[in-house]
Amino acid sequence: MDNSLQDPLLGHVLDARYRVDARIATGGMATVYRALDTRLDRVVALKVMHPALAVDAGFVERFIREAKSVARLSHPNVVGVFDQGAQGAYVYLAMEYVPGCTLRDVLRERVALCPRAALDVLESVLAALGAAHRAGLVHRDMKPENVLIGDDGRVKVADFGLVRSVDSRTGSTGPVLGTVAYLAPEQIEDGAADTRVDVYACGIVLYEMLTGGKPHTGDTTAQVLYRHVNEDVPAPSATVPGTAVELDELVAAATARDPRLRPRDAVALLAALRSTRAALTEAQLDAVPPGADDAAHDSAEDRTSVIPRALGIPRPLPVNEDAIGGGPDDVQRTALLGRPVPVRSRFGGLLTGRPPRRAVAGLGALLLVLLAGIGVWYINSGQFTKVPALLTQTEADARERLTDAGLDVGDVRREYSDTNRRGTVIATDPTVGSRIRGNGSVGLTVSLGPQTVRVPDVTDRTLAVARKEITAAGLEPGMVTDAFDTTVPRGEVISTDPAAGTERRAGSAVAIILSRGAPVEVPELGGKSLGQAQEALAELGLKSEIAPERVTAKVPAGEVAQQFPRARSEVAEGDTVTLTLSEGPEMIEVPDVVGDGVDDARQTLEAAGFEVKVDRGILGLFGDTVDEQSVAAGEEAPEGSEITLHIG
């Protein structure tokens, strides 16, 4: 089903200015459209907050803050913000439109980059963030989705939606804003967000570009957060053998868990990057990573989200042997650490000598209760275990984990998946963590990788039909553009990109090129009466409209003074040409040129806006002085009218 057909903004003009032409992307907080700024006649990217969030003053404030913050930045690697406004439930930002793709798209296609390409991308990103940091701003949501790569190769940083001033701080009990895979430890622990959180995220992005995967993964959000806080980012060379040690060191510096050990801001990291590049040989820079085109990059971890602190991020428990006592807290701590709990009770002193009979009897009764409890535990729980963590594991690893847990492998199903690498587990039955008998079996669903489909041939279809056929083929209708074509009727599809018959991953976008029909050349209409101009346009299949205001011009009142598009421009049949009529020429005072030489007199009159004619009588054949002018000096004449000079 083509959801874009149900989008109420498509085809509408927002705030009487922005014509919404196509949907580019949808995120958790906003949708981005390609739109035309009808006032300035330029294409823009329109970021529109989801109406459901527009009622939240905090989200609206963040939206407006993004506009104001980025408007302060003027840098070639930062996506510019042009305008901010609202109409009804729609709060929007008008931004620079960058035709191209995101770094995530590149990684999805190529998995990993050679060091030269990775450093090139990161250098532009750090230049942009450096400008932001020096302006006192922190991005807080750096990730490949927010790195745009234009068709011309330029790299730009986008989406300053979570931007904050350097000295701002999220309360330790409030939610964490950002994308799980790129959060710095201090953001997770207490909400700190200075320039070094962007440095950390850039280190994660560099690791991902070099290896094709994220350093910290897990079955749950809490597991990923735990690893950020408690585990160092591994060296890229551990995943891609042969990676230069200098690159390992650069990643380690940027992703140090202690923010004091990281470069202080993007400018400092940029300097470190350039030093690293200078230390690498050409062969090291161009080393092609052994790639697996099966690596998965899409996951919920890539989405900007609000992470409640109530997740209870697991932390290592402090071990202090001297502090272990007999209180309830001590019992809980020791039990978690798996150490014996010292028993302190009223029986403690009796245990040092020979126990009295009452104590023995009491202990015997206690032992019977414990044995009965163990029996009940075995009947109710001892025969059961939990399904181990198997998601994202290879099928072989999953089978091994099940065997180690004393479980059998049940039915194995295989399904296509756009977000899971081929051969990895995407679901289990029962689900991970479920209670299961110790000798039970667990079914696995294993990814076949992304399903590829063939782009259908929608040539000569209308836009609505083409979208339906593309959707039915398992693809997404993408950006719509138009072009002149002498063979395909106006409004029908000329071609698609990718072309018909091309194999593409299911769910990929297909751009559509619509025909504008054969081009029509706009005729020259200046100086024609309104009736003549309209007749000439109608004969060419063009429409006409009259501009509400007239202008002064050299042509007589009521005739065409201006036209848009201009003469000899190419338009499509059925397009409209706007005609601006003359209110008549401006009246200009005629200068006095009697007694001047002919050349000087001509120059003076033409500079004033008149045409000049010279009339030489019989006696003036050899003369050069103006004896008379057809309009007396000081009188007014229409601009562009002719003044005759009499000589002799």
Phi-psi region of 66 (alpha: psi -120 to 50; beta: other; left: phi over 0): alpha
Give SS3 for 616: strand
Q: Where in the chain is the domain with CATH 3.30.10.20?
A: 384-447, 452-515, 519-581, 587-647
Choice among 162-166, 486-490, 595-599 with the minimum mean pLDDT: 162-166
- Alpha-carbon span 153 to 220, nearest angstrom: 36
pLDDT of residue 81: 86
More confidently predicted of 525 and 310:
525
Contact at 8 Å (CB) between 44 and 35? yes
Query: At residue 369, does pLDDT exceed 70?
Result: no
Q: Where in the chain is the domain with CATH 3.30.200.20?
A: 3-96
**pLDDT tens-digit readout, 271-322:** 999 999 999 999 999 988 765 344 344 444 454 444 444 343 333 333 332 2
Summarize the confidence of residues 11-19 as an average pLDDT: 89
Query: At residue 337, does pLDDT exceed 60?
Result: no
Choice among 128-132, 251-255, 441-445, 550-554 with the minimum mean pLDDT: 550-554
Architecture of domain 452-515: 2-Layer Sandwich (3.30)
User: 3-state DSSP: the chain helix, strand, coil percent, rounded to 5?
Assistant: 35, 25, 40
Say how many Å lie between the first and final Cα of the chain, rounded: 88
pLDDT of residue 192: 74
- What are the structure tokens assigned to 186, written together? 């201090």
- CATH number assigned to the domain covering 587-647: 3.30.10.20
Beta strands in 97-151 (DSSP E): 100-102, 137-138, 147-150
Query: At residue 538, does pLDDT exceed 90?
Result: yes
| Cα angle 265-186-432, degrees, rounded to a multiple of 5 | 125
Query: At residue 7, does pLDDT exceed 90?
Result: no
Query: At residue 487, does pLDDT exceed 70?
Result: yes
pLDDT of residue 66: 63
Active site residues: 141
pLDDT of residue 510: 86
pLDDT of residue 307: 42
Residue 117 sits at φ, ψ, to 5 deg, of: -65, -40
Give SS3 for 294: coil
Which value, to the nearest 10 degrees, does the dihedral of the CA atoms of residues 427, 432, 436, 441 take? 30
CATH entry, 3-96, from 3.40.33.10, 3.30.390.50, 3.40.50.300, 3.30.200.20: 3.30.200.20
pLDDT of residue 314: 37
Give SS3 for 627: strand
Alpha-carbon distance values, 536 to 74, 90, 549, 551, 555 (Å) = 48, 43, 22, 22, 19
Alpha-carbon distance values, 278 to 58, 114, 247, 289 (Å) = 45, 16, 12, 20
As a residue count, the chain comes to 648
Averaged confidence pLDDT in the chain: 80
CA dihedral sign of residues 346, 351, 356, 357: positive
**pLDDT tens-digit readout, 89-126:** 788 989 999 988 899 989 988 889 999 999 999 999 99
Contact at 8 Å (CB) between 79 and 125? no
Class of domain 100-311: mainly alpha
Q: At what angle do helices 195-211 and 245-254 cross, to 10 degrees?
A: 150
Alpha-carbon distance values, 73 to 140, 154, 165, 271, 394 (Å) = 16, 17, 13, 21, 46
More confidently predicted of 386 and 591:
591
Contact at 8 Å (CB) between 570 and 519? yes
**pLDDT tens-digit readout, 201-233:** 999 999 999 999 999 988 888 889 989 999 999
Query: At residue 548, does pLDDT exceed 50?
Result: yes
- Alpha-carbon span 504 to 509, nearest angstrom: 9
More confidently predicted of 166 and 132:
132
pLDDT band at 456 (very low <50, low <70, confident <90, very high): very high
- Alpha-carbon span 469 to 457, nearest angstrom: 9
| Cα angle 310-314-317, degrees, rounded to a multiple of 5 | 130
pLDDT of residue 6: 65
**pLDDT tens-digit readout, 43-59:** 999 999 888 777 777 77
pLDDT of residue 618: 67
| Cα angle 11-15-19, degrees, rounded to a multiple of 5 | 30
**pLDDT tens-digit readout, 380-416:** 444 678 888 888 888 998 999 998 888 999 999 988 8
Contact at 8 Å (CB) between 623 and 645? no
| pTM of structure | 0.47
Cα–Cα nearest to 215, from 250, 170, 168, 252: 252
Residue 126 is inside which H or E element, if any?
Answer: helix 115-134
Query: At residue 545, does pLDDT exceed 90?
Result: yes
Residues contacting 8, CB < 8 A, separation 6+: none
Share of the chain above pLDDT 90, in %: 43
Residue 358 is inside which H or E element, if any?
Answer: helix 357-377
Share of the chain above pLDDT 70, in %: 80
Which value, to the nearest 10 degrees, does the dihedral of the CA atoms of residues 173, 175, 179, 185 take? 0
**pLDDT tens-digit readout, 268-277:** 999 999 999 9
CA dihedral sign of residues 492, 494, 495, 496: negative
Summarize the confidence of residues 594-608 as an average pLDDT: 93
Phi-psi region of 401 (alpha: psi -120 to 50; beta: other; left: phi over 0): alpha
Q: Where in the chain is the domain with CATH 1.10.510.10?
A: 100-311
Summarize the confidence of residues 612-623 as an average pLDDT: 77
pLDDT of residue 109: 84
Q: Is CATH 3.30.10.20 the right assignment for the domain spanning 519-581? A: yes
More confidently predicted of 545 and 2:
545
Most confidently predicted of 463-467, 503-507, 548-552: 463-467
Residues contacting 392, CB < 8 A, separation 6+: 217, 219, 420, 421, 424, 425
Work out the burial of residue 125: count CB atoms within 10 Å of its CB; fewer than 13 is exposed, 13-18 middle, 19 or more buried.
buried
| Cα angle 312-316-321, degrees, rounded to a multiple of 5 | 130
pLDDT band at 83 (very low <50, low <70, confident <90, very high): confident
CATH entry, 384-447, from 3.30.499.10, 1.10.1740.10, 3.30.10.20, 3.40.30.10: 3.30.10.20
